[in-house]
Amino acid sequence: MQVLSPKDYRYVLGALCMILHSLSAVSGTIQVGSGFPFASVRKALEVSIDGDTILVHSGTYKEGNIIIDKSISFVGVDWPVLDGQLKYEVLSIKADHVLVTGFVVRDSGHASLDDPGGIKIYDSRYVHIINNRLINNFFGIYLQYSQHCIVRDNIIRASGTEEQQIGNGIHCWKSDSLQIIANSISGHRDGIYFEFVHGSIIWRNISFDNIRYGLHFMFSDNDAYITNLFRGNGAGVAVMFTKNVKMFNNTFEDNWGDAAHGLLLKEISDSYIFNNRFIRNTSGIYMEGTNRIIVEKNSFKDNGWGMKIQASCMDNTIRDNNFMRNTFDISTNGSLVLNTFNDNYWDKYEGYDLDKDNVGDVPYRPLSLFSVLVEQNPPTMLLYRSFIVTLLDRSEKMIPTLTPDNFIDDRPLMHAIPL
């Protein structure tokens, strides 16, 4: 019987070393389970001291709210189940240097005022939540006023249907230096929620089929999210009221719906969107009040709108992207254009390249007349793909009258960039 996988063992060891180092006390191992010294997790916790390891063996433990207030390693063996019976917050962590791994945490209390979570971390540092399964909790993993915590390899599932009746998968509030890595989250309100979280990274997570946002990101500066997959969330991903965010190599796909966007940017500045894929979204990126961001080497495919850029956006640079098979590549509600488009590939471009430098000799206007009409008067969409619209778009391309003059890519590429 393997108590810990080698991978987990490394972390256990790391945590133990730290604990040992800081406490300079001898640590012991406490076994919990039927046929072991302790039958109750609570009892084991009561007798434990900082630096101990509690091994919980398989079985279902219905002990209400379990509070860890000592720096211990709390390790599940063969997936013991901590059951909140839909009444309690299951696991509360109120100490630094805690490791929680190998548990199935399920059925926390729902919808009460104090936001019960499957695992909730209060004002703590160096807490590691690794390789757990969180099932049908109100909030999955909840961090508040915490620093230097790692949430990794957890599977978080719920089956919420209404925004008000379910919390978020991983909820981080007023924290910093967090690492959210390789978790899989679905069925919550927001998959991952960041508010007032700084200097943190979100890496290699999969967030899908959540009711509202795959990732909801507010007032959280200097963060990065890299190589995540956001798919089929009610409203896509929202990044709001934030500066200096890096968004690299993420995939935003299948976010269709009246108010769904691949990526919603609102009041964002000085950020960098690089090498992401936006596929089959109502709009790939929706920008509002967005300043000085760079959108580079992204791929926009099969979206309703590739990018919707509201008039409140300034000094953004959109370069070296591929726009392919979108119904509308770009749309805007303003007439003043303060953003730059350069070196993008547009599959609707019909120009030529006589000097063979892979840059079209004729500038491209990515804004179609019809997209302007739809923006002004949404029901016009009724005429989508009708002959008159095709005709209007053609004539507008030849003699622009209604679309802004300077909405133009002067260097449209002839071939798609390999991304």
Partner 1 sequence: MFNKIQRFIVLDILKNRVVLAYTLLLAVLSWSVFSLEDDSNKGVLTLLNIVLLTTPLVSIIFTTIYLYNSAEFIELLLSQPIRRSKIWTGLFLGLFFSLALSFIIGAGIPILLFVPGHVALILLVMGVLITAVFVALGFLCGIMSRDKARGIGISILLWLFFALLFDGLVLFLLFQFSDYPIEKAMVGVAALNPIDLARIFIILQLDVSAMLGYTGAIFKDFFGTGVGTAIGFALLCLWVILPYLLSRRMFIRKDL
Residues within the interface to partner 1 (CB under 8 A):
256-258, 280, 282, 302, 304, 325, 327, 373-374, 376-391
Of 47 and 381, which CB lies nearer to partner 1 in the complex structure?
381
**For residue 336, which amino acid is it?**
L
Q: How many angstroms separate the CA atoms of 225 and 189, rounded?
A: 19
Distances (CA, A) of 104 to 57, 135, 155, 361: 12, 7, 9, 61
Q: How many angstroms separate the CA atoms of 35 and 175, rounded?
A: 41
Of 183 and 332, which CB lies nearer to partner 1 in the complex structure?
332
At closest approach, how far in Å is the CB of 104 from partner 1?
A: 37
Of 245 and 285, which CB lies nearer to partner 1 in the complex structure?
285
Q: Are 330 and 353 in contact (CB under 8 A)?
A: no
The residue among 193, 170, 178 whose CA lies nearest residue 125 is: 178
At closest approach, how far in Å is the CB of 302 from partner 1?
A: 7
What does DSSP assign to residue 384? T
Can you tell me whether residue 398 is helix, strand or coil? helix
Helix axes 387-398, 369-376, angle to 10 degrees: 120
At closest approach, how far in Å is the CB of 163 from partner 1?
A: 18
At closest approach, how far in Å is the CB of 322 from partner 1?
A: 14
Of 164 and 377, which CB lies nearer to partner 1 in the complex structure?
377
At closest approach, how far in Å is the CB of 198 from partner 1?
A: 35
At closest approach, how far in Å is the CB of 366 from partner 1?
A: 17
Task: Provide the β-strand partners of residue 176.
Answer: 147, 198
* β-strands 133-135, 155-157 pairing: parallel
The residue among 222, 263, 224, 225 whose CA lies nearest residue 243 is: 222
Of 13 and 391, which CB lies nearer to partner 1 in the complex structure?
391
Of 23 and 383, which CB lies nearer to partner 1 in the complex structure?
383
At closest approach, how far in Å is the CB of 347 from partner 1?
A: 10
| Alpha carbon distance, N-terminus to C-terminus of the chain | 46
Of 314 and 383, which CB lies nearer to partner 1 in the complex structure?
383
At closest approach, how far in Å is the CB of 254 from partner 1?
A: 10
At closest approach, how far in Å is the CB of 363 from partner 1?
A: 25
Of 386 and 406, which CB lies nearer to partner 1 in the complex structure?
386
The residues near 121 (Cβ < 8 Å, ≥ 6 apart) are 93, 127, 129, 141, 142, 143, 144, 146, 149
The residues near 123 (Cβ < 8 Å, ≥ 6 apart) are 94, 144, 145, 146
- Other beta carbons less than 10 A from residue 355's beta carbon: 8
Provide DSSP, 93-120: E-SSS-EEES-EEE----S-TT--EEEE
Q: CA 266 from chain center: how many Å?
A: 15
Q: How many residues appear in the chain?
A: 419
Of 46 and 350, which CB lies nearer to partner 1 in the complex structure?
350
At closest approach, how far in Å is the CB of 304 from partner 1?
A: 5
Can you tell me whether residue 17 is helix, strand or coil? helix
Of 207 and 255, which CB lies nearer to partner 1 in the complex structure?
255
The token pair that represents 367 in the structure block: 């804004």
Of 143 and 374, which CB lies nearer to partner 1 in the complex structure?
374
Provide DSSP, 256-313: -STT-EEEEEEEEES-EEES-EEES-SEEEEEES-BS-EEES-EEES-SEEEEE-TT-
At closest approach, how far in Å is the CB of 156 from partner 1?
A: 28
